[in-house]
Amino acid sequence: MVDIYKLGPKWMLSHDSGWDNILRFPPQENPRLRLVKTSGKGDASNQTSVIGLDMHCHSTQSDGKNTPDEIIEEAKRKNLVFLTLTDHDAIASHEFQQKLQSSGIETCDSVEVSAKGLHLVSYARRFHKSLHDVLDNTRNGKVKRYEGQIQKLLEYWFEWSIEWFSIYMQERHGRWLKSANIGFLVHYLYTIPTNRAKMLELVQSIWWNSQNVISLFYWECLKRKGAFYDKYWYESEEYEPSVETTVDEVVSKAWWLVSMAHPNVTFWGNKWWIPEFERTISDYIDKWVQWVEVNARAWIDWIEVIMRVQRKYNIILTFWSDYHGKRDDTHWNLWEQNPYITPMRVRENYERLQSHLW
């Protein structure tokens, strides 16, 4: 059977009937795209109805804008049947899970682990206690990294301190340093007028259009391959667990599954990004990273290669938004889906998920 989506007067076919028939431009730029979806709690026998699920979202426990309770309310409003909260290096609390389940929404233990070179969204009925220890070490390592980064920038006459940054995080964002990231740190740096002038000067030295100073400073000074990375970046001691350690904690000790988060984002910036993913995926599968996430923002070329990998290795797909409480270039709204994936494809993988979970 061929599963199909309708594109106005045209049809988008699933990979079963040939990807060459699919229009090749990003879904958000497709003015003809009109996907009809049924309620997430529709008739389970209807194989073309859309399953209401989202397996990747963030709250104020890491870098999301909404509290866990606000996410629950949004999930209820959208009639979801399955939701996992995957905060960075912070396992979804039992209280959150109980509230979801009392609302009729299934869930499980979940977390996005910041492994070396790769983010891994991980799921289990209950994670082993030792994973909590690994994640505590990661969060403490982040704080030390921020301390070192601040000291590094002080060498170049930037003005700030770890104490100021801690106060900023609590007063502006209502969270502790352990849930911060470098993005928060750059935004804080920009709030200080003298720093703002230095940031603008640096950015203008290589960019004629320097309207987005925060973003450009982040990419050019604090990201690998940036123009000033070698000068301003603080190289901290390693604190992120290896892929092998993460898999051991989740698969061996909890006997559940690990998914490669948003490969379209992880491999972005690599000259051979899609070929590099396809070249290295077998190594990760050999390490028992046997799920791959279909990100809501993945373009058609990424969907093609992920489907090709799924057919070759019989992997399971996880889904969607990487919701942070805002809609931007890399994050979508909760349960906002990738229109190049059919409801049948989602249902097939959700049923495989259920076979592991229950």
- pLDDT for 33-58, tens place per residue? 333 333 333 333 344 578 899 999 99
Q: Model confidence over 122-139: pLDDT tens digits?
A: 998 889 889 999 999 999
Q: Residue 273, class by beta-carbon neighbours within 10 Å (0-12 exposed, 13-18 middle, 19+ buried)?
A: middle
Q: Which residue has the higher pLDDT, 72 or 174?
A: 72
Q: Distance of alpha carbon 131 from its chain centroid, rounded? A: 19
Q: In whole angstroms, give the CA distance from residue 277 to residue 282.
A: 9
Quote the pLDDT of residue 327: 58
List the Cα angle 190/269/216 in 5-degree steps: 20
CB 317 within 8 A of CB 51: no
182 phi and psi angles, rounded to 5 deg? -65, -30
The pLDDT-based confidence of 192 (bands split at 50, 70, 90) is very high
Place of tokens 């006459």: 157
Q: In whole angstroms, give the CA distance from residue 67 to residue 4.
A: 37
CA dihedral over 170, 174, 178, 179, signed as positive or negative: negative
- Give all domains of the chain, ordered by start, each with its CATH number: 4-125+256-357 (3.20.20.140), 133-232 (no CATH)
The pLDDT-based confidence of 72 (bands split at 50, 70, 90) is very high
Q: What is the mean pLDDT of the chain?
A: 81
Reduced to 3 states (helix: H, G, I; strand: E, B; else coil), residue 294 is strand
Find the mean pLDDT for residues 257-265.
Answer: 90
Find the mean pLDDT for residues 280-291.
Answer: 89
Quote the pLDDT of residue 179: 80
Place of tokens 């409801």: 343
Quote the pLDDT of residue 62: 86
Strands (E), 147-286: 257-260
Q: SS in 3 state form for 198-210?
A: HHHHHHHCCCCCC
pTM for this structure? 0.78
Q: Which residues pair with 306 in a beta bridge?
A: none
Cα dihedral angle (134, 136, 138, 143), rounded to 10 degrees?
-160
* pLDDT higher than threshold 60 for residue 320: yes
Alpha-carbon radius of gyration of the chain: 21
